[in-house]
Structure 1
Amino acid sequence: MRLDQMSGAKLEQDGSSWQAYAEQPLTFQFSFGDLQTNQDKIAVFVRSVENGQPEAWVQASDGEYQLTLAQPGHYTFEFKARDQAFNYSPVTAVDVTAIPVPAMISVPLLGEVEVRIFQLLVLFGSLAIFGFGYVSFEIVQHRRRIVAAVERGYNPYISGEPVRRVDMFFGRHDLLRRIVSTLHNNSIMIHGERRIGKTTLLYQLANALQEVEDEEFWFVSVYIDLEGTTEEEFFHLLMDEIAQTVRELPELAPEQIEILNGLLNLHLAENQYTDREFNRDLRQIIHILEEYGAVQHRGCQVRLILLMDEMDTLSRFNHLIQQQLRRIFMRDFAATLGAVVAGIEISKEWERVESPWFNLFNEIAMAPFSTDEAIQLLTEPVRGYYMFEPDALDFIVEHSDGRPYRLQQYALEAVNQMLHHKRRVITLADVLVAHELIQLSGQQPKGSWGEDAARGELGVPQTPAPAT
């Protein structure tokens, strides 16, 4: 006895069994035989076993058996053959799972379609229509923004200011990640020529440290600009900036605020506030941070990072003040306090063995931008609004020597020229005019930012592009 084929009822094979729709005809085709018995003398019997309950054997017609699965469920169909001497063949069985017939709906041009499939078609069609509408709307809005930008003179470039916004920072991301990964147990010295991007890097480092998720440390960064600071006010300035940063922490406890209000820097004149008072206040600050971290950053050790800009100022101070600050870093608060300092000549000054800072900092020299970094700085601030001709980009990169402020100067004046001619493509001719203006001025061009006060109506971001 051999089962040859099944048909009808929308059969689907599922592993070793079959699936078929209930309430629809199902046909079994089989073959049988015996070496000593004519085929017409052999009888074939079939029965179904539903949910473990067998029915009575019934005789099937020659070679075919048809039935309808009355309801959903699991069925086993068994077949056997018998000769004239009442000898029976081994039972041949097949498992069939009957599933409900899906609901159907008549669709023009498509005919009968399953409701489930029809719903998917409606969903995908709706998404396609919505997507097309959204894309069309965005295209129209984008074109309007471009027209408005040209008409109102949108120019995102500016020279001479550091970049504070993360989304306007380009070209130094690898260096930023390198510094962050080093600060766990080290202090960093950044040096480079004026306007190479040191201040911008410190601002971005402050932003990055706020977002660091570290299993061992949580970072508190304090930016301190030392330009114009005198020896008498130095320690007072440091504590002013540190205390202000701590005050801005969210959810400070009332008793912690009370400690901040009792710091000596609030009650002593600048010339009376020495390293001794600074040490006392700093211990109070670190105590606050440790208590705060135990609640807000459980299991992490606080790491207070001073981001000290214009560090060349400190190099001109009396060596005693420098030694006092070194002692604070090296002995009193070595595990908790770190620094990233930036300056122009500090590398040469501090490489001397007699310097109080000798061998204290990991040194990083800031180099000019590479070609790719320069192109990124030029193109990203105006992406979606304006475009540079390739020749214009090449000229700016070649004549800027990778200096961020010079890249900004060229871009600022070139965009002004483009806007003057009511275009949205920055050409080589625009850049040549910018080059002439820069050469004639002998200093950074100021651009036309004074005319931009009313540009908020554009819906165009007015934050300057990165300057350093």
Structure 2
Amino acid sequence: ANRLFRKIKREPAMALPHLYGLFQEDADAYDVLSHVAICADPRNTAVAQLAANLHTLGTSEQPGDQIRATNNLQSLLHEHSDWRWSTNMSNIFHNLNTVLNAWTLDDILKIERPADLTTASLPQSVIVSVQFLNRIITELHKVERVEDLRTKMIFLENTLKAIHDAQHMMIDQKEEMCAVAPPPEQLALSTTLTHWQNIIVELIQRMKGRAFISCTLKNENMPVSAQVPLVYEIANDGLNVAQHVRLRVQEGEGYHLAENGYTDVLIDILPPGEKQEVSTTIVPTNGERRLRVVWDITYDDAIDDARLLEFADVLEFTDPNKPFERIFPIPYVTGTPLKSDDVFVGREDVFAFIRENLLGTHQNNAVILHGQRRTGKTSVLYRLGRVMTETHIAVLIDMQGKPARGEAEFLYSIADDIVFSLEEHDIFVEMPEREAFDDAPEFFFRNRFLRGLQKELGDKNLLLLFDEFEELQQRVESGRLSPEIFTFLRNLMQHEDKVDFVFSGTHKLEQLGAEYWSVLFNIAVYKPITFLGNNEIRRLILEPVADKSIEYDPLAIKRISHVAAGHPYFTQLILHEMIVYYNETERTYITVTDVDKVLERIVERGEAHFKYIWAESSNEEQLVLRGLTELLVGAEAVNVKDLQKFLADRGYKWDEAWDEALLSVQSRDIITSRTAKSPLYRFKVDLIRLWIDHTRPAL
């Protein structure tokens, strides 16, 4: 050790090559390193630190020690750029530190490919290690660039092979490179490769473990006969074998099961990617030209036993009762509020609440409607004008479209909205000049303009409908409006008997934060805008197309209700795409299989609202949603403890931030539980789960 230290003292720039030379010359290299650290300190603290950290990196099996050592070595070499190899080795220790910190698949995928080393003077073990890391990271990045499961599997298998090759390289390194002691980076690299291997193996097992069964009725059109053979095609589109696949026809209206008619069919094994046709026989009983046939399939795979799927389709003996008729224009609306009554259903509870508060015995002339984005709040405001037409003249005030150059401009634009709405009711009043608002905008708007309308209003009230009311806060905080606007609006609510107010937004009062909201809204009543109920969903599916040739199977209606959960936007989106599908395929009877095909289209296309929900979620919230998505495969709901363990196994320690994330996604109606105290969670809108499953990588 003393001899080596003296050698380094004579050639300080050669400290790294001299220390690395130990590993090819001395089997006790790490003992020598520890003595070099002692000899050098305090005479040469840099060499002492270099030797000590190389010793720690090459001997400690604790990831924390390895991370600290690589961090120290990187900093030390950066400070001593005059040392030979310092730049290349500093980059190598930086990359090794990043690799050691990658304990989840997400972390690994964020690692950039290390630069290739071109200098031949570095130790061969270092050059080869970087080459293997490059190969592993390159293969993993390919997984992110494809969506097909089988192609992902190919790249994951390639990654696993690259890891195995790197592990064999380290085993053979001593013989191939004539090293008598393992280089210091080898132990840390071995620890990392073992952990990465476990992550990849688990991911492959989960992807391989699922079979995906679909089934279609092949002979939908048949001549009438005493016994009708039905031919089904059962396909396994998953990555694992399906076993004990059993198709069973259920008794239904208009037919019964034929004796000895093979109504129960078993396929022992259905490998992935394969299809098989099976037959059953039914006996028609009522002479109808159309029969709805119902059947189910149970099967086992590596994840679930006795998984149950329900199917139904229509068998037509002659021409359909309703010939195909193209539906155009499509009645369903996506992305914009509903301005007509054609596809507006439900919300009677909301309208009754507003009537009760504006007209009841204990009147309150300010109502706040709050709900998540795209849950139909603006559509309710449009509809409210017609619901309240006997007692009110409604004025929609779109806060996002309002000028914001001070109170005068703001109140003048509201006056313009009022005049326009009055004209729609054949009440014509003169619009004030813009300059009239300049000196005292609040006084003129209230005392001159509003009170000047009382004669024209007669026995009706003005109903001011403020959409996106949170915009007021943003304008006040940016200095475009004075905070006194809140006091002015409160004064109107309290003292103007001919004016009522409805505010619509996405937040509850306690979520808004600013004190001036309490000034305005502590005299208001609240009504949440939630999802549509089952009866309302059914009406929305059937009523707009009641006079058309399209017909929905009950299972298809059930599937739409489940996957959209009554979310107004997603329900309208699915139904709009169902009509597009109907026009394309000319299928007049829509089954659950047809619905699933449309859902695949929506998920693959990636609607903007999915991306909005994802972008609005914190990193912890996204991980909670991804964890739930994986755990809900084959499950109805997920226990919080199972979610905690699932994330912990992937390097995420559960703390208060995760509890807050869980509560946040629940408050945003993304997930739900059966009761307030239930530990079991599922997605409220299953379509969001389908999108996450299709677009986000596995943890």
Provide the TM-score with structure 2 as the length reference.
0.37
Partner of 1:347: 509
In 2, the alpha carbon distance for the partners of 1:250 and 1:144 equals 50
Higher deviation after alignment, 279-288 or 377-386: 279-288
In 1, the alpha carbon distance for the partners of 2:422 and 2:452 equals 8
Return the match for 2:417 from 241, 244, 266. Answer: 241
Question: Are 1:387 and 2:551 matched, yes or no?
Answer: yes
Question: Are 1:196 and 2:375 matched, yes or no?
Answer: yes
Describe the shift of the 1:313–1:346 C-alpha distance in structure 2 as closer, same or farther (beyond 3 A): farther
5 Å matches for 1:90-239? 147=323, 149-150=325-326, 155-184=330-359, 185-186=363-364, 187-210=366-389, 212=390, 218-229=391-402, 230=404, 232=406, 233-239=409-415
Partner of 1:367: 530
5 Å matches for 1:409-448? 409-443=573-607
Partner of 1:406: 570
8 Å CA contact retained: 1:225, 1:309: yes
In 1, the alpha carbon distance for the partners of 2:322 and 2:414 equals 46
In 2, the alpha carbon distance for the partners of 1:310 and 1:145 equals 48
User: Structure 2 counterpart of 1:202, which letter?
Assistant: L
8 Å CA contact retained: 1:231, 1:317: no
Aligned residue for 2:489, secondary structure, equals helix
Aligned residue for 2:388, secondary structure, equals helix
Describe the shift of the 1:426–1:220 C-alpha distance in structure 2 as closer, same or farther (beyond 3 A): same
Q: How much does 1:166 deviate?
A: 2.8
Partner of 1:307: 465
In 1, the alpha carbon distance for the partners of 2:413 and 2:393 equals 17
Higher helix share: 2
Q: How much does 1:289 deviate?
A: 2.4
Partner of 1:78: none
8 Å CA contact retained: 2:370, 2:504: yes
In 2, the alpha carbon distance for the partners of 1:371 and 1:287 equals 43
8 Å CA contact retained: 2:343, 2:544: yes
Q: How much does 1:434 deviate?
A: 1.4
Q: How much does 1:315 deviate?
A: 2.7
Deviations 1:19-43 (CA, angstroms, capped at 9, x unpaired): xxxxxxxxxxxxxxxxxxxxxxxxx
In 1, the alpha carbon distance for the partners of 2:328 and 2:341 equals 24
User: Structure 1 counterpart of 2:356, which letter?
Assistant: S
Q: How much does 1:181 deviate?
A: 2.8
Partner of 2:271: none
Question: Are 1:282 and 2:449 matched, yes or no?
Answer: yes
Q: How much does 1:432 deviate?
A: 1.1
User: Structure 1 counterpart of 2:382, which letter?
Assistant: Y
Q: How much does 1:223 deviate?
A: 1.2
In 2, the alpha carbon distance for the partners of 1:311 and 1:286 equals 25
Q: How much does 1:250 deviate?
A: 2.7
Q: How much does 1:200 deviate?
A: 0.8
Describe the shift of the 1:173–1:146 C-alpha distance in structure 2 as closer, same or farther (beyond 3 A): farther
Partner of 1:108: none
Aligned residue for 1:223, secondary structure, equals strand
In 2, the alpha carbon distance for the partners of 1:247 and 1:153 equals 33
In 1, the alpha carbon distance for the partners of 2:520 and 2:598 equals 43
Partner of 1:86: none
8 Å CA contact retained: 1:159, 1:408: yes
Count of aligned positions: 276
Describe the shift of the 1:176–1:431 C-alpha distance in structure 2 as closer, same or farther (beyond 3 A): same
Q: How much does 1:356 deviate?
A: 1.9
8 Å CA contact retained: 2:370, 2:508: yes
Question: Are 1:250 and 2:404 matched, yes or no?
Answer: no
Q: How much does 1:205 deviate?
A: 0.7
8 Å CA contact retained: 1:191, 1:365: yes
Deviations 1:263-322 (CA, angstroms, capped at 9, x unpaired): 244x458x77732231244344433425xx2xxxxxx4x321101111111132432221
Structure with more relative contact order (C-alpha pairs < 8 Å, separation 6 or more): 1
Describe the shift of the 1:342–1:315 C-alpha distance in structure 2 as closer, same or farther (beyond 3 A): same
Q: How much does 1:365 deviate?
A: 0.6
Q: How much does 1:353 deviate?
A: 6.3
Describe the shift of the 1:224–1:344 C-alpha distance in structure 2 as closer, same or farther (beyond 3 A): same
In 2, the alpha carbon distance for the partners of 1:234 and 1:396 equals 43
Return the match for 2:499 from 328, 337, 340. Answer: 337
In 2, the alpha carbon distance for the partners of 1:183 and 1:223 equals 17
In 2, the alpha carbon distance for the partners of 1:173 and 1:379 equals 19
> Which blocks of at least 5 consecutive residues in structure 2 are unaligned?
1-318, 477-482, 610-699
8 Å CA contact retained: 2:331, 2:342: no
8 Å CA contact retained: 1:309, 1:342: yes
Aligned residue for 1:156, secondary structure, equals coil
Describe the shift of the 1:287–1:384 C-alpha distance in structure 2 as closer, same or farther (beyond 3 A): closer
Higher strand share: 1
8 Å CA contact retained: 2:436, 2:444: no
8 Å CA contact retained: 1:322, 1:356: yes
Higher Cα radius of gyration: 1
8 Å CA contact retained: 1:220, 1:303: yes
Return the match for 2:489 from 314, 325, 332. Answer: 325
In 1, the alpha carbon distance for the partners of 2:509 and 2:567 equals 20
Describe the shift of the 1:238–1:158 C-alpha distance in structure 2 as closer, same or farther (beyond 3 A): same
In 1, the alpha carbon distance for the partners of 2:351 and 2:405 equals 31
8 Å CA contact retained: 2:454, 2:498: no
Higher deviation after alignment, 390-399 or 177-186: 177-186
8 Å CA contact retained: 1:195, 1:404: yes
8 Å CA contact retained: 2:324, 2:586: no
Deviations 1:76-129 (CA, angstroms, capped at 9, x unpaired): xxxxxxxxxxxxxxxxxxxxxxxxxxxxxxxxxxxxxxxxxxxxxxxxxxxxxx
Describe the shift of the 1:285–1:423 C-alpha distance in structure 2 as closer, same or farther (beyond 3 A): farther
In 2, the alpha carbon distance for the partners of 1:199 and 1:169 equals 12
In 2, the alpha carbon distance for the partners of 1:347 and 1:207 equals 28
> Which blocks of at least 5 consecutive residues in structure 1 are unaligned?
1-142, 213-217, 294-299, 446-468
In 2, the alpha carbon distance for the partners of 1:154 and 1:220 equals 31
5 Å matches for 1:5-24? none
Q: How much does 1:399 deviate?
A: 1.0
Provide the TM-score with structure 1 as the length reference.
0.54
8 Å CA contact retained: 2:367, 2:524: yes
User: Structure 1 counterpart of 2:341, which letter?
Assistant: V
Aligned residue for 2:520, secondary structure, equals coil
User: Structure 2 counterpart of 1:305, which letter?
Assistant: L
